[in-house]
Amino acid sequence: MAKADSNEPNEAATDEKLAVSVKIDASEAQAAIQAAIGDVVTIPADSHAGAVERFAGLHAFIAKVEGIEAAALVRLREGLNEIGDLLGLHSKASAKAESTGDYKASDLS
C-alpha cells in the first residue's frame, strides 16, 4: 500500500482537502498499471482544481514508472552485453588452447 511521506498542505491546492506526497514502490506500480489497463481512466474529483491536481499526480506517477522500466532495461542490456563479451573471450581462448594442446574445451564442463 502507498505510504504518505508527509501531510503538509499543498500550497497549490484550492479546495479544502489536504494533499499528500505519496511514495510508491515497484510492486504497487505494476498493480496500478494492471488495474488501469483499458480505454478509459476515471479520476474522481470534487472540483476542477482537484481534477487538475489528481491528473498532475497521475502524470508524475506514469513518468516515474516509465523511468523505472527504462533503468531496468538499461541494467539488463549492460549485464547481457558483459555476459556476451565473456562468452566471446572464452570461446576464443578455448579454441586457441585446443589448437595448441594445452587443454580441451570439454575440460571446462
User: Which range marks the domain in which residue 55 is found?
Assistant: 3-36+45-108
For residue 23, report the phi and psi dihedrals to the nearest 5 degrees. -95, 125
Q: Is the pTM of this model over 0.75?
A: no
For 16-64, how does the pLDDT look when each residue is reduced to its tens digit (9 = 90+)? 444 444 454 556 666 666 666 655 556 666 777 777 787 778 778 888 8
What burial class does residue 22 get, using C-beta atoms within 10 Å of its C-beta: 0-12 exposed, 13-18 middle, 19+ buried? middle
Instruction: Look at the chain and report how many structural domains it folds into.
Output: 1
For 24-33, how does the pLDDT look when each residue is reduced to its tens digit (9 = 90+)? 455 666 666 6
